[in-house]
Structure 1
Amino acid sequence: MTDNLLLSHTRLAEPLLSFSPTDASAVHRNPLAGLRQFGPHSSALFGPEDAIRVLAIAPADTADKVAGLLRELRDEAQPRERREYLPPFPGFNAAFRTHLYAAGQRRVALPGDLDAQLAASSTPARLLADTVCGEIRRVRDSGSSFDVVVVHLPERWSRYFTADGLDVHDHIKAFAAQLNEPVRTQVLNDQPMSYHCRASVRWRLASALYAKAGGVPYKLVTGGLMNPGTVYVGLAYGVREPGGPDQQFVVCCSQMFDSAGGGLEFVAHDFGNEVDARNPLLSAEQMRTVLSRALDVYADRHAGRRPVSIVVHKQTDFTSDEVNGCIQAWGTADNLSCVTIATPAWRGVEVESVTGSGAPKFPYATSRGNLVQLDEFSALLWVAGNSPAMTAGGRNYLPGGKGTPRPLQLTRWAGSGPLEEMAGPVLALSKMDFNSDSPYTSLPVTIRYAQVLARIVKTENLPARPYDFRLFM
């Protein structure tokens, strides 16, 4: 770095969330406070007389506890942590403007002797996965009406959760997604039953169940840096049997989101032996295939229309072949951006200006939304950081409470315009994970959910077709 390099600094405003398709004033920066005040964006989808039906599958000795946890979601709870950010939970009906009920079968208890079976089995992970999946298939085929299946995997079975290339959690998700009538699942561990802050538990579980049932808790306010009509595609790669003699680069996954952060669908591609696993980069033809497929999915869901513009996110550098493949699929270099989102070793704290010979003061972690331009094509964006705009009183608030936030390094390989136009959507899309009660996640959902699918397809042979992203939440 040269001594005379001057870094350009901008602070992006905290993105607004919309909680109504018709009321432009129903906006908030805090997702949970917005739900409490306005209700969900899709409140018309589930009317006050409707209900979201949940069926629970659990060990025989925890089935009642899981049922009690679901009943608990109907009740209010005061926060016992993160009070700057976390509002009181008003009860499921008040927050989401609809009811939450147990499905007809209420709950399904796994075999009472399953612990003994697992202890005696030579392949307990496979036995556990097959047992749970068998119950999911049975209740699906039984004619029971439900929207979401909750599966409890207690901590005492944790030694069986992964073995011989099988991940029980991922196998359950993949199995349920491939059924003729896919089943949306919520997998629980023991923590929700005992965690000290019941408001946190209820917000997180209630938001996830509402979204998985087909609801939309909130959307991003479009306009400004979120250009209406833009689609955001996240790519992630996977390697089967990493480090082994049969290591194979087999997966390229794209996760599409629209300009309001609405989930479109996963698309998985298996290139088999066409790509060197030691250097998993795509040829122009392969990238064209990936992006063309994503655009076809978009057109299928939008009456044949194309998006106005397209942004492609991934975590590795784009080669010239990959950029050319994107251009071939899109048909032009105009209104196309290719952006790498990496995690460098930088950190950040705020510095108070001082006069005279006094030493600088470092009062708090750097603010979320800080953008430092490194050169014409790259910048550092603090997605994690101090977030006073999401607190009730505008006080300092750092999720996690301690540590020095690290930025994301954004590099644009195709596209033009101010770097704020590249960074703004990344900041906004970090707020669109409905499977969390946090104000944001460390990565935009384009990358975060593409990673989820890439992880799953490394061990599960999912057919190469589009999947609703809610199936893998």
Structure 2
Amino acid sequence: MLDKVIVWSEPQLKFKLGIQESIIDPKVGLLSHGPLDFNSRKRRFSKVRLGVICKEPRRIINFLNKLNSFIPPQKVGDQPYKGFQLIYKVPIEIPCEDEIGRITDSDLSGTLSLRGKSFEQVVELYDQKIQEFHDEMRGRYDVLVIQIPRELSEYEDPRRSRKLWSSIKAAAIRKNIVTQIITEKTLTSKYDCDNMWNLSLALYVKAGGVPWMLKKFTDTESFIGIAYGIKKFRDGQRVLSGLAEIFDEFGEHVSVVSITSEAFGKDFTLETDGSYHLSEEKTALLIEKLIEEYKRKIGNPPRKVVIHKTTFFNRAEKEGVKEALSKFDSIYDLVNIVENPSLRFFTAKKNPPQRGTFLRISAASGLIYTTGYVKSFKTYPGIGIPKPLEFHLDEGKSEPHKIAKEILALTKMDWNTTHLMIRKPVTIKYASRIVDILKSGLRPHELVKDIRYYM
């Protein structure tokens, strides 16, 4: 029998000087208090300097100059964008046209004329342009803004197995360069206020800023997100990239590790539901490497660990986690998060369920709405019909309500957007994104430990 539905309140965020407020919209906290690291020793820069590689210099510079403008709200629930320096308490430097790395028409025409090899040539072109710009401007910029012009929009089709965004990220990561990629969709959006809020936050974070953090909300000391990606070769070989990233008790990213498995049937398997799973040995190796990274940065291994994954934990993975964490005397929960559950809620009113609505399904499973109706706005500030996340405790002793609260809180730690509603917890959102970059050719030993390179 199903339990009574509960609506959890919003997790509290910390902003400047440790001010805590139960705010659903981080924009309100930034406008009211400034970023968490303002006037603290955590912020080690006095300005944010942009580098730019693009095809349309004037258009891109005009777009970036909006970062220093006032833009009124355009949608329900919006907050006015008041300019980069007023919000983040630090200036942003936008280059002039003669300081920009250029992609020319001849660059593109020569590349796109090569049938069957155009994608590889486009990636090679960007790799070359990034290296040339970095050689000339090394030490004079913090974040490199890169345009994907409309001529290359086809390479951003989500149906493609290889995406230009991921390949550009991989090329920059190999050179230890933090990037912000600007697409035609971003440039043509009619919502300038939303655009500048999201872009400004991303640039501030990628320069090293810490905008907000969760107030301590659980006895769990670390959260881990696991994702797998398969790369298939023409000869039929399949190589699995296993990725795990770890966050601290406040939801801040600590580190990331990856392993590659080539022996299908030994190092990884394919289940009947179409999901891939690592062997016991490989799972133990992945988790042990990650905890060692945590120890190196934090000082001690975590006493309590929660691991999120979007596929179930099979027997081999459970044994692998047990083997690894027993070496550190860490207790743990293994949580399978189902992104598209069949169960939905319907309210007696015309409004959808509230964000934070929780239902316990069984002693080891539940549903949590991380998007939904917001009372303070008297509306649902999202697109389409909100869908819950379903979760199953595959191993562990935590109650479903505790797991649900942790998932809800971790949706507020995505520093790449100021959107009111983030559906996925940061654990699974970024693990999947990094796997996409790995599949584009980045090798495990080329991984950078800082999440800012993958945003």
For 1:10-35, what per-residue CA distance to the aligned partner results, in whole angstroms no more than 9, with x for missing partners? 22111121113x43446633211111
In the TM superposition, residue 248 of structure 1 has moved relative to its aligned partner by 1.5
Structure 2: 5+ residue runs without aligned partners? Answer: none
- Distance, in Å, in 1 between the alignment partners of 2:57 and 2:195 is 18
Residues 41 and 272 of structure 1, relative CA distance in 2, 3 Å threshold: same
Counterpart of 1:412?
A: 393
Question: Residue 269 of structure 2 contacts residue 279 of structure 2 at CA under 8 Å; is this kept in 1?
Answer: no
Q: Distance in 1 between matches of 2:181 and 2:450?
A: 17
Say yes or no: does 1:155 pair with 2:136.
no
Query: What is the distance in 2 between the residues matched to 1:401 and 1:457?
Result: 30
Task: Tell me what 2:412 maps to.
Answer: 431
Paired residue for 2:320?
325
In the alignment, structure 1 residue 309 sits paired with structure 2 residue 304: yes
**Other structure's SS at 2:412 match:** coil
User: Once the 2 structures are TM-superposed, how far is the Cα of residue 466 of structure 1 from its aligned partner?
Assistant: 4.9
Tell me: CA distance 1:256–1:249, structure 2 relative to 1, closer, same or farther (3 Å): same
- The alpha-carbon deviation at position 187 of structure 1 amounts to 0.7
What's 2:90 paired with? Answer: 98
Structure 1 position 336, deviation (Å): 0.8
- Seen in structure 2, the aligned counterparts of structure 1 residues 129 and 323 have a Cα distance that, compared at 3 Å, is same
Return the alpha-carbon distance in structure 2 between the equivalents of residues 12 and 287 of structure 1: 34
The offset of 1:160, in angstroms, is: 4.4
Runs ≥4 residues deviating over 6 A: 46-49
Amino acid at match of 1:135: K
1:110 to 88, 96, 103: 103
Deviation at 1:217, TM superposition (A): 1.2
102-111 or 137-146: which moved more?
Answer: 102-111
Could you tell me how far 1:333 is from its partner in structure 2?
7.6
Aligned match of 1:234? 225
* 1:246-275 deviations in Å (ceiling 9; x for gaps): 252411111211121212222111111143
Alignment correspondent of 1:375: 362
Partner of 2:382: 400
Counterpart for residue 195 of structure 1: 189
Structure 1 residues 250 and 119: CA distance shift in structure 2, 3 A = closer
Shift of 1:161: 4.9
SS at match of 1:237: strand
8 Å contact kept, 2:20–2:215:
no
Q: 1:408 to 1:27 in 2, by over 3 A?
A: closer
Provide the C-alpha distance between the structure 1 equivalents of 2:215 and 2:87, rounded to a whole number of angstroms. Answer: 20
Q: TM-score, normalised by structure 2?
A: 0.90
Aligned residues: 441
Go from structure 1 to structure 2 and tell me whether the alpha carbon gap of 1:79 and 1:329 turns closer, same or farther (over 3 Å shift).
same
Q: Is the 8 A contact 2:270 2:277 kept in 1?
A: no
- Measured on the aligned residues, the alpha-carbon RMSD in Å equals 2.4
CA distance in 2, matches of 1:329, 1:27: 37
Q: Is the 8 A contact 1:345 1:406 kept in 2?
A: no
Q: What SS does structure 1 have at the residue aligned with 2:370?
A: coil
Q: 1:419 to 1:311 in 2, by over 3 A?
A: same
| Aligned residue type for 1:115 | L
Residue 104 of structure 2 aligns to which amino acid in structure 1? P
Provide structure 1 residue ranges, at least 5 long, that are not aligned to the other structure.
352-361, 389-393
Query: Of residues 317, 340, 345 in structure 1, which corresponds to 2:342?
Result: 345
Query: Are positions 1:261 and 2:258 aligned together?
Result: no
Corresponding residue number in structure 2 for 1:471: 453
Structure with higher helix content: 2
Structure 1 position 402, deviation (Å): 4.0
Counterpart CA distance in 2 for 1:25 and 1:165 is 43
Q: What are the Cα deviations for residues 161-182 of structure 1, in whole angstroms up to 9, with x where unaligned?
A: 5799643211111111122xx1
Name which of structure 1's ranges 90-99 and 267-276 shifts more when overlaid on structure 2. Answer: 267-276
Residue 169 of structure 1 aligns with which residue? 165
What displacement does 1:440 show? 3.0
